[in-house]
A and B are shown apart, each in its own frame.
Chain A
Amino acid sequence: MSSRAAWVGLALLAACTADAPLSDLERGAAYVSDPAYRRAALERSLVAPDNGYSALRLERYTEASWGALPVWNPRARPVLVSDLGGPVPNPGVDWEPLDLDVPWEEAALSALGARAFSAYPAQVEPALLMALTDADAPARFGLWVDGDRVGGLVWAETPGGVQPAFSCASCHAIPRDDGPGLVLGAPNHAIDFGALLDASHSAHTSAGRWGPGRVDVTPDDVDNPTVIADLRAVRFQRDLNRAATISNDLMALTVRLETAVITNSREAVRPPRELAFALAWYLWGLGDALPALPADGAGAAVFARECGRCHLPPGLAGPPVALAAVATDPTVGESPWRGTGAYQTTSLRGVARRGRLLAGGAIDSLERLLDPDRVDGGHRYGQTLDDADRASLLAVMRDLR
């Protein structure tokens, strides 16, 4: 018996007998092995059971429906710079599924999550071939190149042949600005998925107007492209998704990731549950490396006075705010699919690395957000500060990287 199976057994025992609260890893093991446990986690997490996102999951997150889908962990390999301009490769001996048989321990699960983050084919997308036609093609669509890797993309073997796919790192990682390597979890606000779709279909649809860093994630017939999230801060979010669709905790995040892979495949496959938990566990740990606001100083004082009632320390996130109150473009929040009537009060930990701010990505910098002359875009907080206060506030915010 693998150590994973042993752990799952132990955790189940614990879940049935002990009064003591489960540890995070025991929760993860219970999620993997116990359908009732994960179903309860889903039900607890949905903020508005009537929106499309919730209704679909309440209907299909069952053993008989999505639980019966084939498990997706195909043989895959990263897309490399040497693939650009070439044919779709054939699977070789070095093509591997992710090795899921790891000890059910913190470090091993984090390592699996980290691997999966840039190696797992999270979303097969034939249109990605357009970003691989020549050496300049990735940059045309805002895909990064890091060493020999292209945009975190992977080739995945499907029953119908090899297809290009996004990994999480395609949308949720950016090149470092101080040398080689990636900032994993930071949003890629350069990627232009909509332009890629239009290019592949020779079309001129609303996707071409999403703009870089935004994706219309909702099948609701409304043009409501949403800014790509900064996953380094995910542990600090009170709710998940800009529309505050999901009340956040480690289990809610795990189920969110599992169901996202399902819906991204148009309900053809589901991810291995060990993998969904490992990804969530890995993301949960990313927050540790994010700088916090300084405890004192002029900037911290301005923040506490003007911002801290919503962006609560230490996570600098907070309860959702009604759309009309924050007064930013309400389109994303009004989605009949993900909407709850309010916006996530997004964590500001890591905010200085984001190229696009607010749910629809309308604002492109902290300076612009706090500009006293700005009239569009809502979120008026801090716009009436005097120059000295604004400068000290901006100084501490710029260090939140």
Chain B
Amino acid sequence: MRLTLTTVYAAMVALALLGGCVEGGQRADGDAVVTDTVVTDTTTGRVPLKHRAAAAMCDDERSTAGPDIPGGAGAPVDCTSHADCQSGDNGRCVGNSHDGWYCTYDLCFADEDCGPSPKVCECGGGFRSDHNVCLHEGNCRVDADCGASGYCSPSLGSCGDYTGTVGYYCHTAADECVDDADCAGEPSTFGSPYCAYNPTAGKWACSNQQCAG
């Protein structure tokens, strides 16, 4: 059975009664991710665990470890050292024996580097790599884009945590879930169900990893 809004609201009310204020957090890379604050919201009834209160500049720090490329790697090797990666900002040679080794660069430092709203610069959001990347999907950059007491949260796509955050979307009263925990009891097909923006439904809903096709 799908989680009904009534269940969600019941859970939210319970949480709201129990929960006071948990401290907000700042990610090491500078992107503000607030963990929990006072429940003031009227749109979703509950503050999502992850939401983007404010856009922050991303830093230009990247790991200098590696690359540790084993001899005779079967996957393609486009670079062998960080010094090989000179055609962008903060190049690093990254990879693994499944995906191969290739250069990655910081593609942005601020949302505006990615184009008009709602494009977001995701700090350290690279695929299996710590470079800053542009997210081209979504419908908000920050909570304020979602109206008074609105929340703009990072969403996984159809391929679950394999691809990581694919965009930021507003929560609305139509949502079937707010956080992944709301989906724990959902039937699963592959991996654990998670709470993500469903672009067909036009709202957040529990989702099973589907990976295209």
Contacts and interface: CB of A to CB of B under 8 A. Distances in A.
Contacts of B166: 126, 200-201
Given A202-B107, A219-B211, A158 B200 contact: yes
Contacts of B205: 266, 268
Interface string A256-281: 00000001111111000000000000
A159 B174 contact: yes
A46 interface: no
A160 B213 contact: no
- Majority secondary structure of chain B interface residues (helix, strand, loop or mixed): loop
B91 interface: no
Interface string B177-199: 00000000001011000000111
A159 B167 contact: no
A193 interface: yes
Contact of B190 (A199, A200, A219, A265): A219
Contacts of A125: 199
B36 to A, nearest CB: 25
A205 interface: yes
A192 to B, nearest CB: 12
Given A159-B201, A160-B139, A218 B213 contact: yes
B102 A204 contact: yes
A201 B104 CA distance: 14
Interface residues of B, number: 46
Contacts of A194: 212
A119 to B, nearest CB: 16
B187 A215 contact: no
Contacts of B174: 159
B200 A266 contact: yes
Chain A: interface size category? 35 or more
Nearest to B189: A56
A37 interface: no
B201 A265 contact: yes
Interface string B84-121: 00000000000000110010100100000000000000
A50 to B, nearest CB: 14
19 contacts: A124-B199, A158-B202, A159-B202, A160-B199, A160-B203, A194-B212, A197-B159, A197-B212, A201-B133, A201-B135, A201-B157, A202-B136, A203-B133, A204-B128, A204-B129, A205-B163, A215-B212, A263-B210, A266-B198
Given A201-B136, A203-B126, A203-B163, 6 more contacts: A59-B187, A160-B172, A205-B99, A215-B213, A218-B213, A266-B207
9 nearest CB pairs, A to B: A160-B202, A217-B213, A202-B133, A159-B202, A158-B202, A203-B127, A268-B201, A126-B137, A265-B200
